Structure 1
Amino acid sequence: MNDSERTLTDGMLDRPRGVREGEELDLPALGAWLRANTSLLPGSGPPEIQVLQFPSGYSNLTYMVRLGEREAVLRRPPFGNTVKSGHDMHREFTVLSKLAPVYPLAPAPLAYCDDEAVLGAPFYVMERRRGIIIRRRPPPGMKLDADTSRALACALIDGLADLHAIDWRGVGLAEFGKPQGYALRQIEGWTRRWERSKTDDVPKLDAVATWLATALPADADADPALIHNDYKYDNVLLDARGVETGKGVRINAVLDWEMATIGSPRMDLGTTLGYWVEAGDDARMQGLAFGPTNLPGSLTRAELLDRYQERSGIELSSGTYYRVFGLFKIAVIVQQIFARYQTGATQDPRFAALGYFVSMLAEAAAEAIEREA
């Protein structure tokens, strides 16, 4: 990166920081494994390994590994994890291995390790891509006027529609999932996860789970596709120069493929709708915004749904049902993280207030069902 590029993107790029206490990696063991299994390190001697950690994210842990002038990204499950199926490093590595040659937004994986003696859990390393990640608020230096907010929302939903158009059989992912009966299995699976991770009673979330199981639409398993399963702003990387110079919004990479599978594109869209708080929502909902979806110019949920249907050719019989599924699933994911904090499996202070968000998501889902009735 030259000086002009550094000035242009300063303060906007997603940057790693020091590793959080309790989430350190065994550098000698990692170095030995990298030398034996990748071309990232020479056979002997320097460079020494430097490891930093990307600070955000609530699930799998993401590290930047710097080896002299070379950089890579390492992904591993969270410490204290007990939900093995939700943090399957090999699945994530597999989908990237198949996608990277044909899908430019998939970072190329470099090597996978299933030997837990190295870092205490399976992990993999992949190429590092640079760019902007938008979380609850835009990063310093990024201005989102109405036109940019709309372009950003359009780019995001177009990216999901394009992902669903991939010939998953043709790229070698025919055995990657079981699309028949996928939707009902999801409802049943997320309900079980909710029951197992409960730390407090949330009757409205129990009622939402019952409604989802009894109101499953007939189109839920139609048009199976490769789905991301957690597609939202902070899981895409934006081209910083295009945003800063006004030359357009472009997605540079899609991240966090840990829950990818072959399944229902409607339920995948439902997860995105679950994250989507719009400007007209009440003050309580505004506090649940997972990104700048509520800024002036951004698409409403109805506009998001319309654009997806037009670009993908996939129609939804009930946008409400799929959004409620998204809200329920997000609530359970948050509850699983909160349960780890409550049991002391993680000390991350960000997790202390997550119980509140579970209750708010449950209320939002229940109210959406009432409006549909």
Structure 2
Amino acid sequence: MTNLKPDIPTTIRSGEELDKEALQAYLNTQVPGFGPITDIAQFPGGYSNLTYLLKTDGPEYVLRRPPFGAKEIKGGHDMGREFRVLSMLKAAGYTKIPEPVVFCEDESVIGCPFYVMERVPGIILRAYMAPKLNLPAEQMRQLSEALVDNLVNLHAIDIHQTGLINLGKPEGYIRRQVEGWHKRYLAAQTDDLPTMDQLARWLTDTLPAENPPTLIHNDYKYDNVVLNPDDLTDIQAVLDWEMTTVGDPLMDVGTALSYWAEANDGPFEKSFNLTWLPGNLTRQEFANRYAERSGRDVSNLLFYYVFGLFKNAVVIQQIYGRYKKGLTKDERFATLLTGVQALAENGARAVETDTY
């Protein structure tokens, strides 16, 4: 047992309210038996898509919508795709997901596309909990091992038999990712950051041969999994499938490691995850366990780790760019440029020292 409490949504941030009446009318026509919405609240975490709790007299639901100003980011925040991924995973027999309910592409309802899924009750470990978490180091270790093992299991899904191969084009995936994220950075750039340019060149010049493709989540970390309150090593559901595709599984591992802060990392890096708390695997131990459990060669994992840092830096730059343009008033975003710099410097250090 644990005294941790499930995620508690709070008052909706100013300017991010939902039209309750329009939403109710739409859901009444699309979801048989959908009861009256008794309350709407907002989950405060995350910098990207906005997530709300819809309470009814029966089940609780979660609504996901893009952030305000996101229309300028081509290819991002695709609610329809995330809903399709959940639906395909359900059809494939994968059970560690929320039940998808409905996708709405009609922007006249609440001003943007959105989807609704059933809420999975449980514990989500978020970075802000770190000072008060006080989980025993041994439990933290078992939990971090379970996270790695679950990623191995995700990569073991047969993408051909299930049809999940149709989610993407695995051939040339790494090159497209490097080129695509570099273009996104240039489109969102607000300041001259030479280290970001250096990383883009290094990634382009050191593209590895691709591994056989698997399903890849692309945003795999503690706060995207729901844990059983009675056994924190029991993962109930994996969340946030927006960037899921098929490709080299080490791209997933590299992204996970790019979030995986250690005790000696800086405060910005630690703001992503709880992985720096005592007991957690180190990045090297994460890589070793993944290699052992999956049977995959991770000797070239440095490239994938550096790409993960670069990609995260670009995402943060996009958010900061929206703030600079006045497209969002969320004051959490005002200092994000220092985060772009921190991740870029980590990438340059990793290249220089050949370590992650």
TM-score by length of structure 1 reads 0.90
Determine which of 145, 153, 158 is the counterpart of 2:144: 153
**Paired AA for residue 242 in structure 1:** D
Q: Distance in 1 between matches of 2:119 and 2:163?
A: 24
Match of 1:99 in 2: 89
- Report how far residue 11 of structure 1 moved: 5.2
Determine which of 121, 136, 148 is the counterpart of 2:112: 121
Match of 2:29 in 1: 36
**Paired AA for residue 163 in structure 2:** G
Determine which of 314, 338, 346 is the counterpart of 1:356: 338
Match of 2:12 in 1: 19
Match of 2:280 in 1: 298
Q: Distance in 1 between matches of 2:98 and 2:104?
A: 17
Does the 8 Å contact 2:130/2:277 carry over to 1? no
Match of 2:69 in 1: 80
The answer as to 2:197 corresponding to 1:223 is no
Q: Distance in 1 between matches of 2:230 and 2:51?
A: 24
Determine which of 42, 53, 56 is the counterpart of 2:45: 56
The root-mean-square deviation of aligned C-alpha atoms, in Å, is 1.7
Are the structure 2 counterparts of residues 129 and 141 from structure 1 closer, same or farther at C-alpha, using a change threshold of 3 Å? farther
- Report how far residue 233 of structure 1 moved: 1.0
The answer as to 2:176 corresponding to 1:185 is yes
TM-score by length of structure 2 reads 0.94
Q: Distance in 2 between matches of 1:62 and 1:171?
A: 29
Match of 2:269 in 1: 288
Q: Distance in 1 between matches of 2:123 and 2:214?
A: 27
Q: Deviations over 1:171-193 (max 9, x none)?
A: 22232100000000000000001
Structure 2 residues not aligned, in runs of 5+? none
- Report how far residue 159 of structure 1 moved: 1.1
Farther-moved stretch of structure 1 (306-315 vs 285-294)? 285-294
Q: Deviations over 1:122-154 (max 9, x none)?
A: 111111011111121437874322101111110
Q: Deviations over 1:182-237 (max 9, x none)?
A: 0000000000011011111110011001000001112xx21101111111111111
- Report how far residue 253 of structure 1 moved: 0.9
Q: Distance in 1 between matches of 2:131 and 2:118?
A: 25
Q: Distance in 2 between matches of 1:9 and 1:222?
A: 40
Q: Secondary structure at the match of 1:86?
A: coil
**Paired AA for residue 131 in structure 1:** G
Q: Distance in 2 between matches of 1:334 and 1:241?
A: 35
- Report how far residue 286 of structure 1 moved: 4.6
**Paired AA for residue 14 in structure 2:** E
Q: Deviations over 1:325-367 (max 9, x none)?
A: 1110110111111111111111111111111110011111001
Does the 8 Å contact 1:205/1:362 carry over to 2? yes
Q: Secondary structure at the match of 2:13?
A: coil
**Paired AA for residue 229 in structure 1:** N
For residues 121-270 of structure 1, the aligned pairs below 5 Å read: 121-138=112-129, 142-218=133-209, 221-243=210-232, 249-270=233-254
Q: Distance in 2 between matches of 1:145 and 1:199?
A: 43
Match of 1:69 in 2: 58
Q: Distance in 2 between matches of 1:56 and 1:296?
A: 23
Are the structure 2 counterparts of residues 333 and 48 from structure 1 closer, same or farther at C-alpha, using a change threshold of 3 Å? closer
Are the structure 2 counterparts of residues 27 and 84 from structure 1 closer, same or farther at C-alpha, using a change threshold of 3 Å? farther
Q: Distance in 1 between matches of 2:353 and 2:19?
A: 52
Identity of aligned residues (%): 51
Q: Distance in 1 between matches of 2:192 and 2:6?
A: 40
**Paired AA for residue 331 in structure 1:** A
Determine which of 263, 269, 272 is the counterpart of 2:256: 272
Count matched residues. 352
Are the structure 2 counterparts of residues 29 and 294 from structure 1 closer, same or farther at C-alpha, using a change threshold of 3 Å? same
Farther-moved stretch of structure 1 (351-360 vs 47-56)? 47-56
- Report how far residue 40 of structure 1 moved: 4.5
**Paired AA for residue 16 in structure 1:** P
